[in-house]
Structure 1
Amino acid sequence: MKLVQTSIKRPVGVIMIVAAILALGFVSLRNLTIDLYPDIDLPVAVVSTTYEEAAPQDVEQLVSRPIEGSVSSLEGLEVLQSQSQQGASLIFMQFSTGVDLDSALLEVREAVSQVSGVLPEGAGEPNVLRFDPQALPIMTIGLSGDTPQELQQIAEDQIVPFLERQGGVASISIEGGRTEEVQIEIDRAELNKLGIDTQTIVQTLNASNQAASAGSIDKGDKDIRIRVNGEFSSIEDIRNTIITTEAGARLTLDQFASVEKEIEDTGTVSEVNNDTAVVLSALKKTDANTVETAENIQAAMDELAPDLPDQVSMDTVLDTSEFIKISINSVIVNILLGGLFSVAVLLLFLKSVRATLVIGISIPIAIISTFTLMYFTGETLNVLTMGGLALGIGMMVDSSIVILENIVRYRQLGYSMKEAASEGASELAPAVIASATTTLVVFLPIMLVEGIASELFTPLALTISFALIASLAVSVTLIPMLSSKLLTKAMENGKRYWFDRFLEKVNRGYQRVLRKVLKFRKTTVLLTLLAIGGSIALVPLIGTSFIPESDQGQIEVDVSLERGTALEETEKVTEDISERLNAFGDVIDVHYLSIGSGEMGLAGGSADRASYTIQLVDPGERERSTQQVMEELDEELQDVVGAEVEVTEMSAGLGTGSPIQVQLNGQEYEVLNELADQVVYMIEDIDGIVAPSSSTEDSEPQLDIQVDRKKASQYGLTEQQVISEVQLAFQGQTATRYRENGEEIEVRLVTPVDEHSTIADLENLPISTATGALVPLSSIAEVRQIEGPVTLLRENQQPQVNVTADIGERDLGSVTADVEAALDRLNYPEGYTYEVGGQAQDMEEAFGDLFVALLFSLFLVYAVMAVQFENFLFPFIIMFSLPATIVGVAGGLFITGLPLSMPAFVGVIMLAGIVVNNAIVLVDYINILRRRSYDRYEAILEAGPNRLRPILMTTITTVLGMVPLAIGIGQGAEAQQPLAVTIIFGLTVSSFFTLVLIPVVYTYFDDLSAKITGFFRKRVE
């Protein structure tokens, strides 16, 4: 090849190019973004809307449905889901793959703006944003040591503005704080005597709290603007507001109402390590470096600390960048270990430090070159891309091994250094390029398929591809050039004669095996088929799963009390739990308690729900694993009185919902509820199903007021007037807002606490009539206590109820199959359907996409070999090395106890390109010998032992390079472990079958080719 010749003739030029690439690689490495997983660009938008104190039914009817109707006809919309809960609405919109989400978001905003005006009073402005399953806080900070309102003030004034100015920070949210508000406590009876209604007070306060421009006047040659400032500036201004009675009397507000500043009751509590705290959560910008952003925040915290009050402390509660750094460091250790193993194998086979150095130099060059390509393609340094380097560490030297081994052979034949380098590299360069290309093309379908499989593993595929391209370039340029300069003594026998003798015995043994299998060809094929059949029988025992979970040393404790439990009772229960957590002080670094917080920062939290987020100390500082600590905590907390406690291990990165999720759709919630109960009953006895539950199981006590319109009209009352009176009495009414000392303060009308604390207070609530009289609510309405829903779900504008379950000791695929079999036995009314979602659905879709990618990869591998050999027969022979791969894959997963997961499936696709490499080298050399007039039998017996050495070297270096990942050394290695196990066992077993089966298949197809050729020759004659 000309490239080989040029590299040998121009060594200085090659070295300069390599130096430039290395320099560019180091610069690129410094600028690469570091994250845990690749960015998953899913075309999903969400509309969040608050509707304070509204019940789920009202949120659905008045907020969710109008917004659903406005966006339902958007182009490209595939799935429309809504979630209506206490005080909040969430609308999820999933668009078709390929839709430009930025454009879609603009269309969503336009559609939502058209219905914003019809949303009820009290509903917040709908907030439209892109949904990112990884958009979780990268850091959580606890602020403690003072009252919640003082901590809130410090956070808003000092900390949040400063932190949001740091590089990479998108926003900082505050939870657990308290704010001041002005409460105007009114006496309805007194108001009735004075002839003042609440609307008069609200209107007067609003009218008195106004500022406006009033034109301008001329003063000399200048215009001076006139501004009338009538805004409140203090609570005294509110107290002195003049209210006019029906009789015309003018009274100040404080003459008939109590006007005081109070702390707003948010119904939430936040604690860090048992101390009341305000918690700050930091979100990073989309393109920001997680680790760098976290370091910027930590530096800013250190800078702020001296300026805080003495009694206030600011501590890091959770920092996801720590797990990222640990995970990346673990992968780097695996890369180094894999590199050392590969170099050791090279040294063992080549018996020369110089020869080992010639090949070993391709590893760092390939890795550093990869960083350059990653930077320019926008990839990030994450667990999967770094794992790709770790997986490819052994494959990086394969091409160089084959080239160098052939150069060595020519040196042993007496060629000079330059001649050996030129002839040896040129002879096998086409085969090396073909084998590398087959490995590369298998990654192309992964990049082309849609869904989460492509989103996750395209970066890994690109990383390995970049590394292999770089190593291929090194093998046909740098390796021949260095060989022509450095291998002066490489051929001298070292002191390790034992290994030479061992290889000679292996060669002789292999030659004997070849003679046997060529003699008993049918037996060889039959034994191969039996081995493949036995492996297929193992597949059901292996099972399937989605993505292995990563251990990041975090545990979540969910506490559920009886629906409707007051905040004070929930706090008593959490005090008991917090005391029990103190016993785990040797393993718990920090724990964060949240009571009553809503989802996604919205309203809708409940005082009867609490959660603990627990961060354990570093693994090196504790003897127990996260799983063991979780089990001990679960055992300790199961007997907490008055609460149901669930302890789970938090997994890093990808949140894909419950393992099992049955989505029931239909027209009526009542029918769906009955179906959901039946589903729970049917699946709860399935082996592996843990804690099945329906989304409607949770209900909360609710007082339902049915207004008798006929009776109300007799008093001149409408239903809306009754609603307003009840709302004022039990939740208050915001009258206005004003600014004091730079802070905006809400002014609310409220009634005395003792007037709205019991059901009797509600029934006896005095309602003002049109004549000024007061009538009790019970005289015009019926008050009933019922159980109301906590959350109402809809999909594609139809009601939906979900049944969810975790899985135990069985694999996800087997449990899902049993669940679907049970669901098929259920009778569904007309118009009612079910669908299995959650991780089971994601796994099914991902496996379907990867199966298509596998078929396409096999076609591309065959096509590349057909082009290389310029023949359709020889590639077909080589493809017979692939079926035997299943023996190693199934056996490896069965032995290690790992299910067939998405990473393992990607490993199978990679094997399609890797296992044929050995067969390519073997078949190519058989053809070379036959062109040199060797008999077929002699060519096989000569080529087999001759190519055994490079085949063993490439296989062992590839396998040993992946061993650290297969063992799962360090945190964050869980995602690559199934992939590494699949390739190690698949390649090892396939290499054996390649050495034995491929020569037999070669003879069969050569005989067939000869018969066909002879047949046509006779026909021609």
Structure 2
Amino acid sequence: VIYFLGFTINILTLLALVLAVGLVVDDAIVMLENVFRHMEMGKSRRRAAFDGAKEIGFAIIATTVALVAVFIPVGFLTGNVGRLFNEFATSIAFAVMISTFVALTLSPMMCSRILKPIKGGGGWAGRSFDAFFDGLERVYAWTLGGVVRRPFFVILGALLLVVGTSFIFQRIPRELVPTEDRSVSFGIVIAPEGATLEYTDHYMRKLEEKLMQLPERQGLFTATGLGFNGPGRVTNGFVFLLLKDRDERTRSQQEIVQELFFQTFSIPGVLAFMINPPSLGGGFSSSPVEYVLQADTYEELGAAVGILMGKATELGYFVNLDSDLRLNKPELDITIDRERAAQLGVSVTDIGNTLESLLGGRVVSEFKRGSKQYDVIVQVRPGQRATPDVIDEVYIRGDGGLIQLANVVQVRETVAPKELNHYNRIRSATVTANLAPGIALGQALDDLDGILESDLPPGIRREFSGQSREFRDSSSKLYFLFVLAVVFIYLVLAAQFESFIHPLTILFSVPLAVVGALVALFLFGQTLNIYSQIGLIMLIGLVTKNSILIVEFANQLRAQGREAREAVMEAARIRLRPILMTSFATIFGVLPIALGLGAGGEARAPLGIAVVGGMFLSTFLTLLVVPGVYLVFARFVPVRAPEEPEGEAPRAAGAPSPAA
């Protein structure tokens, strides 16, 4: 599929394949377990394969369609994030669909040929496991009996747990992408304005001495007068630090850079700091914080930028705060006294031509020499126009003779912006900054928004640019996709179950999974980023599989005439084994990602942690809460009689029929 769709083998497609390892076996596990359960009833291999596949086929199709439906919205993401995760979502979706086809066709056939009942318990290990699982099943049945007697209390407890988790959600930092350990770090040195090359180079040597003492250092490159984009000003310095491979050092890149940040930041005389290269987008030359202020005039912008940068400096974690609105360009504001000029007989055109010749240069004629043509430019020598006082020495012809130019003009020295910027055609100024290690981009932007609301005039507006814009856009899109994925699954399940109630029962496990994911991210010190948010979206499809197994089998039992309470308890008890098997297969399949193994694994660890935490908690809560929710909603769902298709093979006694 990757080949025919024109995808490449990259980090995201490989990540999809690693995740698929734990997902593609789920359908086969469910099929195999159900066939084996029918064999335990005393049926032959062929009869058990037929009845088991017939009984569980609808549930397998429903779980697969629900999981694939989750990745449909992810495939429509736009921007850098969308281009990356489109291949990720497509690869997983096709892998799951192919595994479902195999589970519905090849797996039952192989069960009818290969699967054999275990005689005598299968040895000491088999008997021990059976004894443990039988005990677990009895404990679960006893606990479930209490749940179905008081389902409202269980549902209320689950809702309170979800509401309480909102506190944890607010405490988790947010960023675009976590920092990857690439064994590379960059340093920036900024000397004061007016410093010489020798001054900057002196402090670059001091920084070199500190970095040369680093035990994890493998290589070091420094350059004075060089920036990220190439040659810069003499007040700039650039550092490239190459660390040893990850397996040759005990500390991570993040820990090393965090220590170096405070060591280099304390160097007096210059602003020096170490940073990690961005993991996604933006490039090395851009700062993570790009906060755009907009106003009607540049005077308002100048005042607002000053306030914002002053308040941001007080927070202590913004580094290298800068703005592209620099009111430091010297300028002469010359105003012509038109009334005085008219009285003295001096034309405004003559004044303009004189000022042009004085301050710049004016083309007055042309001459040719051979085949070339040259402009004749009149201008004052540069040394004679270095100060505004030269205007007092210039005369212009009027009606009564020569008149001093200073008599008809007013000269005022001012400063003006070096460049006037616009953003979306509105006058703007962009404030940029780097962040101290350990500070999330979401926290920084929220703090700047707080300053905007509390300290800046009402007429000041804000936008984002660069990494900041990418972060805000991706966050809002992914949260929207989370809601859209839930709606997609609800509609799909409503069509499959021909009911608007059963999908609500199934989707009740989603908030429980979100609780587990957020708690895991919080406990392991992770952030909410595009990887962990993709993990949350994946959980919607993963955790609904367990609920579908319970609800679908309970519907079959009710169609046979059993009461709702008896049906849901029996369905939950029988589906306990496949639910635990598939859940832990998924957890162990994702565990290498959660542990952050491999190059750049730290960046992708939040996805694995979110999936493992969500699956682990939701698996156990689903087994208790979903039966209670099913029992509450059962009174609103009529029981449908099973339909017997023509030509069906005879069923063994006691085997449940598929729901209509």
TM-score under structure 1 length normalisation: 0.53
| Alignment partner, residue 870 of structure 1 | 498
Matched, 1:616 2:243: yes
Q: Which residue of 2 aligns with 1:593?
A: 223
Alignment-derived partner of residue 311 in structure 2: 682
Unaligned runs of 5+ in 2: 363-380, 391-408, 640-660
- Quote how far apart the aligned CAs of 1:695 are: 0.7
Q: Identify which of 165, 183, 196 aligns with 1:535.
A: 165
Q: Percent of aligned positions with the same letter in both sequences?
A: 29
Equivalent position to 1:918, from 543, 546, 557: 546
CA 1:895–1:631 in structure 2 vs 1: closer, same or farther (change >3 Å)?
A: closer
Task: Say whether 1:661 aligns with 2:300.
Answer: no
Q: Separation in 2 of the partners of 1:453 and 1:568?
A: 44
Q: Report the alpha carbon displacement of residue 418 of structure 1 after superposing the two structures with TM.
A: 3.3
Q: How far does the alpha carbon of each residue in 1:368-425 deviate from its partner, in whole angstroms, 9 at most, with x for none?
A: xxxxx11222222222222222223211111010011112122333333333333322
Q: Is the 8 A contact 2:358 2:385 kept in 1?
A: no
Q: CA deviation at 1:651?
A: 2.7
Alpha-carbon distance between aligned partners in 2 of 1:889 and 1:976, rounded to the nearest angstrom: 15
Q: Identify the residue that residue 646 of structure 1 maps to in structure 2.
A: 273
AA aligned opposite 1:917: K
* Aligned twin of 1:515: 145
Question: Do the aligned partners of 1:862 and 1:879 also contact (CA within 8 Å) in 2?
Answer: yes
Partner Cα separation in structure 1 for residue 567 and residue 258 of structure 2: 62
Structure 1 residue identity aligned to 2:277: M
CA 1:626–1:722: 2 relative to 1, 3 Å: farther
- Report the structure, 1 or 2, having the larger strand content: 1
**Deviations 1:695-718, CA, capped at 9 Å, x for gaps:** 1586778697999999xx999986
What is aligned with 1:1005? 633
Q: Name the residue aligned to 1:350.
A: none
Amino acid at match of 1:504: D
8 Å Cα contact 1:944-1:995 kept in structure 2: yes
Of 446, 449, 472 in structure 2, the residue corresponding to residue 844 of structure 1 is: 472
Which residue in 1 is equivalent to 2:484? 856
Residue 515 of structure 1 aligns with an amino acid whose one-letter code is G
- TM-aligned CA distance change 1:529 to 1:757, over 3 Å: same
After TM superposition, the structure 1 = structure 2 runs for residues 546-625 of structure 1, keeping only pairs within 5 Å, are: 546-584=176-214, 587-593=217-223, 595-596=225-226, 599=229, 605-625=232-252
Letter in 2 for 1:822: I
The CA distance in 2 between the partners of 1:425 and 1:794, in whole Å, is: 65
Tell me by how many angstroms 1:452 deviates: 4.3
Structural RMSD (CA): 4.3
Query: SS of 1:914's equivalent?
Result: helix
Match of 1:824 among 453, 460, 464: 453
Change (3 A) 1:918 1:641: closer
Tell me how far 1:597 sits from its aligned partner: 5.2
Between the two structures, name the one with larger relative contact order (CA 8 Å, sep ≥ 6): 2
Counterpart-to-counterpart distance in 1, 2:303 and 2:32:
72
Call closer, same or farther: CA 1:667–1:761 in 2, change over 3 Å.
closer
| Aligned mates of 1:452, 1:499 — CA distance in 2 | 49
Deviation at 1:1005, TM superposition (A): 1.8
The answer to whether the 8 A contact 1:874-1:923 is kept is yes
Deviation at 1:689, TM superposition (A): 4.4
Task: Provide the C-alpha distance between the structure 1 equivalents of 2:387 and 2:154, rounded to a whole number of angstroms.
Answer: 90
Change (3 A) 1:810 1:920: same
CA 1:573–1:878: 2 relative to 1, 3 Å:
closer
Question: Within 2, Cα distance between the matches of 1:757 and 1:469?
Answer: 80
Cα 1:397/1:619, change in 2 over 3 Å:
same
Q: Does the 8 Å CA contact 1:683/1:692 hold for their aligned counterparts? A: no
* Alpha-carbon displacement from aligned partner over 1:163-182 (angstroms, at most 9, x marks no partner): xxxxxxxxxxxxxxxxxxxx
2:402 corresponding residue in structure 1: none
Matched, 1:487 2:145: no
Q: Which residue of 2 aligns with 1:670?
A: 299
For residues 124-179 of structure 1, give each alpha carbon's deviation from its aligned partner in whole angstroms, at most 9, with x where no partner exists.
xxxxxxxxxxxxxxxxxxxxxxxxxxxxxxxxxxxxxxxxxxxxxxxxxxxxxxxx
Q: In structure 2, what residue type is equivalent to 1:945?
A: R
Q: Deviations over 1:265-316 (max 9, x none)?
A: xxxxxxxxxxxxxxxxxxxxxxxxxxxxxxxxxxxxxxxxxxxxxxxxxxxx
Residue 837 and residue 689 in structure 1: after superposition, are their counterparts in 2 closer, same or farther (change >3 A)? farther
Q: Secondary structure at the match of 1:428?
A: helix
State the secondary structure of the residue aligned to 1:558: strand
> Number of matched residues?
603
Shift of 1:555: 1.4
Question: Which whole-Å CA distance do the structure 2 matches of 1:426 and 1:823 have between them?
Answer: 63
Q: Distance in 1 between matches of 2:180 and 2:168?
A: 27
* Corresponding position of 1:982: 610
* Contact 2:334 2:410 (8 Å CA) reproduced: yes
Aligned ranges for residues 56-71 of structure 1 at < 5 Å? none
Counterpart of 1:735? none
Contact 1:434/1:868 (8 A) holds in 2: yes
Secondary structure of the structure 1 residue equivalent to 2:153: helix
1:422 aligns with 2:34: no
What is the correspondence of 1:159-198 to structure 2 with a 5 Å cutoff?
none
Cα pair distance change 1:666/1:941, threshold 3 Å = closer
- Pick aligned residue for 1:901 from 513, 529, 533: 529
Report how far residue 724 of structure 1 moved.
7.3
Deviation at residue 680 of structure 1 after TM alignment: 1.9
Distance in 1 (CA, whole Å) between partners of 2:573 and 2:504 is: 23
Q: 2:103 aligns with which of 454, 475, 478?
A: 475
For 1:552 and 1:757, the matched residues in 2 are separated by 54
CA contact (8 A) 1:433 1:472 kept: yes
- 2:26 maps to what in 1? 398
* 2:572 pairs with 1:944: yes
Q: Indicate which of 431, 434, 438 corresponds to 2:66.
A: 438
Query: Residues 919 and 994 of structure 1 are in contact (CA less than 8 Å); yes or no, is this contact kept in structure 2?
Result: yes
Q: Could you tell me how far apart the structure 2 residues matched to 1:598 and 1:903 are?
A: 28
Consecutive unaligned residues in structure 1, runs of 5 or more: 1-372, 727-754, 765-780, 1012-1021
Matches within 5 A, 1:93-172: none
Q: Is the 8 A contact 1:673 1:696 kept in 2?
A: no
For 1:598 and 1:627, the matched residues in 2 are separated by 21
Structure 1 residue 580: Cα displacement: 4.3
CA contact (8 A) 2:77 2:86 kept: no
Q: Note the alpha carbon deviations across 1:846-902, whole angstroms, 9 max, x for none.
A: 232223222221122122222222333322322222232232123222222223223
Aligned position for 1:363: none
Q: Are 1:973 and 2:601 an aligned pair?
A: yes
For residues 535 and 993 of structure 1, the distance between their equivalents in structure 2, rounded to whole angstroms, comes to 15
Indicate yes or no: 2:253 matched with 1:626: yes
Inter-partner Cα distance in structure 1 for 2:258 and 2:30: 51
Contact in 2 for aligned 1:445/1:853 (Cα 8 Å): yes
| In 2, Cα distance between equivalents of 1:724 and 1:574 | 39
Hey, what's the Cα distance between the residues in 2 that align with 1:558 and 1:392? Answer: 42
TM-superposed CA distance for 1:442, in Å, is 0.9
Q: Is the 8 A contact 1:676 1:801 kept in 2?
A: yes
Residue 466 (structure 1) aligned with residue 115 (structure 2): no
Aligned-partner Cα distance in 1 for 2:260–2:631: 64
Any conservation in 2 of the 1:560–1:610 contact (CA below 8 Å)? yes
For residues 26 and 593 of structure 2, the distance between their equivalents in structure 1, rounded to whole angstroms, comes to: 19
TM-score normalised to structure 2 length: 0.79
Counterpart selection for 1:389 from 1, 17, 21: 17
1:960 corresponds in structure 2 to 588
Tell me the residue number matched to 2:4.
Answer: 376
Cα deviation for residue 632 of structure 1 reads 4.3
Deviation for aligned residue 1:788 = 7.0
